[in-house]
Amino acid sequence: MKKLIIFLFFPLLLFSQVKRPNVAGMFYPADKDYLSRMVEGFLKKAEFPPVEGEILGLIAPHAGYVYSGPVAGYSFRAVEGRSYSTVIILAPSHHFYFRRVAIYPHGTFLTPLRSLEVDKSFCGALLSETKNITARPEVFEREHAIEVELPFLIKSLKGEFRIVPILFSQSDYSLCEDVGKAIARTIKKFPEKKFLIVASTDLSHYHPYEEAQAIDRRTIEEIKKFSPKSLLDKGLKGECELCGLPAVVTMMIATKELGANEIKILKYLNSGDTQGMREKVVGYLAAVVVKKGNLSREEKEFLLKLARESIKSFFELGKLSLPEIVKYPRLKKPGACFVTLKENGRLRGCIGTLFPVRPLYENVARMAVNAAFYDYRFPPLRKEELEKIKIEISVLSPLKRIKSFEEIEVGKHGLYLVKGSYRGVLLPQVAREYGWDRWQFLQAVSRKAGLPPDAYKEGAVIYIFTAEVFGEEE
């Protein structure tokens, strides 16, 4: 990593809680309307097939927009229209050297488009997780690697979100591992929030065009392996080049801890491609880190359509009607599932099975009808409501009996409680929606079983499971 090493410490008392732009008018336009049109143009030109799975992280370049904007457009087009509560931005420090890792703990980042608040509660929780992260707002004063990502985030993400700015000046695996795992642990403490982790980096710097392409190909192939330790080792040896090496490695570690299992490369160009001068170029990469389930997009779409058609058919025929042909072999295998119906965002029915006693497609059809007409908590669905409801399907993993409450990961696991003749089940997404911690989740599943809130403490058998959750668009 090339950096200007300066030991400079500003008194914290002089630090303003409002972080003003460093490179507006240089790296990107300072005019709001011009900037808005430019970013929208980059997003619009980025075309690729929809990314399957949950996007937990992404890699984006941080050079001036005329150089890297065409590639950054791909990074952020992948999350366009998606909602995230908090975006954690990991980037290299280009101007200051410091030990450990620096975080901007609270305040506001200004951009020509609008201001973005720092997620103070998350930063506080993260600082308590590891001593390798320290509050160092002064080292952000000249940095561009976080700032240039903000207009793209503003234009691509749906709704409001907060940010967590983090800078690295050391490439040490133990440091990256500790910080990455701390980020993942802290994210799990906020199950009600949805997080995106952005790694800000460029690739090789100032090589001739063909040489740069060869170096960047090696780096991209290494990134695709999704092996953070190997990437760091080869980066330190010079076999791979990326200025945000510790940021990318840390993002990989954190997202792996959160269940990500694939890195998808979206676009590579260098400044010779975007601006034409090929004597000394800089490489740019767009990639996303995804948590892919077992089902393909086509299989999910088939099941959602089947659920809706099954309810519609029940209105017309008064009985369950199953398709004669199911072209997806995986859906013919036994599978456990729940089908949830919502109307205007509110629960309208939810029924399922924990055990894979029928083919998955048949279970989805049956549970859809049961949720619509036989959930005792609600009156049967009326025909005029069918167009208003949104369908969500949860395909369940096998049950696993726990030995310790510490095995329960809120937001990842659902709970099934058995105590005598009492039974209670709650899906993983319920805890996220209500913002419960582990103990509130256990109390809730106890109540769901018709027992006192503390019934889970003695004599209860508790199972955990995961769910692949997907639904119709709002």
**Digit-coded pLDDT (tens) for 23-50:** 999 999 999 999 999 999 999 999 998 8
| E strand map for 223-324 | 262-270, 281-291
Q: How far is 311 from 199, CA to CA, in rounded Å?
A: 44
- Residue in this structure with the two tokens 């696993």, named with its chain if needed: 400
The answer to whether the beta carbons of residues 271 and 282 sit under 8 Å apart is yes
Mean pLDDT of 307-326: 92
- What pLDDT is recorded for position 14? 42
Count of beta carbons in the 10 Å neighbourhood of residue 418: 16
DSSP string, 111-125: -SS--EEB-HHHHHH
Region of poorest pLDDT, from 45-49, 117-121, 408-412: 408-412
pLDDT confidence band for 10 (50 / 70 / 90):
very low
Distance of CA 345 to the CA centre of its chain: 22
Element (H, E) at 389: strand 389-396
pLDDT tens digits for range 437-472: 899 999 999 999 999 999 999 999 999 999 999 999
- What pLDDT is recorded for position 474? 59
Q: How far is 257 from 248, CA to CA, in rounded Å?
A: 14
- Residue in this structure with the two tokens 């591992």, named with its chain if needed: 177
In the predicted structure, residue 5 carries a pLDDT above the cut 70: no
- Average pLDDT, rounded, for the chain: 93
At 295, the amino acid letter reads L
In the predicted structure, residue 211 carries a pLDDT above the cut 80: yes
CA nearest 92: which of 165, 164, 178, 195? 165
In the predicted structure, residue 286 carries a pLDDT above the cut 80: yes
> At 284, phi and psi to the nearest 5?
-135, 140
- What pLDDT is recorded for position 292? 83
Terminal-to-terminal C-alpha distance of the chain? 44
The answer to whether the beta carbons of residues 146 and 167 sit under 8 Å apart is yes
- The two tokens of residue 54 are 């949950």
pLDDT confidence band for 13 (50 / 70 / 90):
very low
In the chain, the domains with their CATH numbers are 12-291 (3.40.830.10), 295-394 (3.30.700.20), 397-474 (3.30.1490.150)
Q: How far is 56 from 87, CA to CA, in rounded Å?
A: 10
Strand order in the sheet with 400-401: 400-401, 461-465, 414-419, 422-426
pLDDT tens digits for range 56-88: 999 999 999 999 999 999 999 999 999 999 999
- Residue in this structure with the two tokens 């924990």, named with its chain if needed: 354
Q: How far is 460 from 457, CA to CA, in rounded Å?
A: 7
pLDDT confidence band for 236 (50 / 70 / 90):
very high
| E strand map for 61-129 | 86-92, 101-103, 108-109, 116-117
- Higher local confidence (pLDDT), 473 or 407: 407
Specify which residues 416 forms β-bridges with.
Answer: 425, 463
- For residue 443, give every residue at least 6 positions away whose Cβ sits within 8 Å of its Cβ, in sequence order, or none: 453, 454, 456
pLDDT confidence band for 259 (50 / 70 / 90):
confident
The answer to whether the beta carbons of residues 426 and 337 sit under 8 Å apart is no
In the predicted structure, residue 273 carries a pLDDT above the cut 90: yes
- What pLDDT is recorded for position 7? 37
Strand order in the sheet with 389-396: 346-353, 337-343, 389-396, 467-471
CA nearest 138: which of 105, 181, 164, 182? 105
pLDDT confidence band for 248 (50 / 70 / 90):
very high
